[in-house]
């Protein structure tokens, strides 16, 4: 059984710590390939 979480989370980190979290992942099993994160940008429906 693999327990995981999915959602949108807000993080306020020093840029060096954010880079570490982004590169290494978050969580207890990130060394096994879990804990992946991505930067989310809201969808902008406005035309230029």
With 70 as the cut, is the pLDDT of residue 48 above it? Answer: no
Distances (CA, A) of 9 to 1, 6, 21, 35, 38: 24, 9, 13, 13, 10
**Do the Cβ atoms of 11 and 21 come closer than 8 Å?**
yes
- Is there a contact between 44 and 34 (Cβ–Cβ < 8 Å)? no
Predicted TM-score (pTM) of this structure = 0.63
Render pLDDT for 22-32 as a digit per residue (tens, 0 to 9): 899 888 888 88
Give me the residue spans of the domains in the chain: 9-40
For residue 24, what are the contacts with CB-CB under 8 A and spacing of at least 6? 30, 35
Residue 47, pLDDT > 70, answer: no
pLDDT in tens, 3-41: 888 888 898 999 999 999 989 988 888 888 888 888 888
């Amino acid at each position: 059984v693999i327990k995981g979480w999915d959602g949108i989370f807000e993080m306020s980190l020093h840029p060096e710590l954010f880079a570490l979290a982004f590169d290494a992942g978050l969580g207890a099993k990130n060394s096994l390939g879990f804990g992946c994160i991505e930067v989310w940008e809201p969808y902008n429906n406005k035309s230029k």
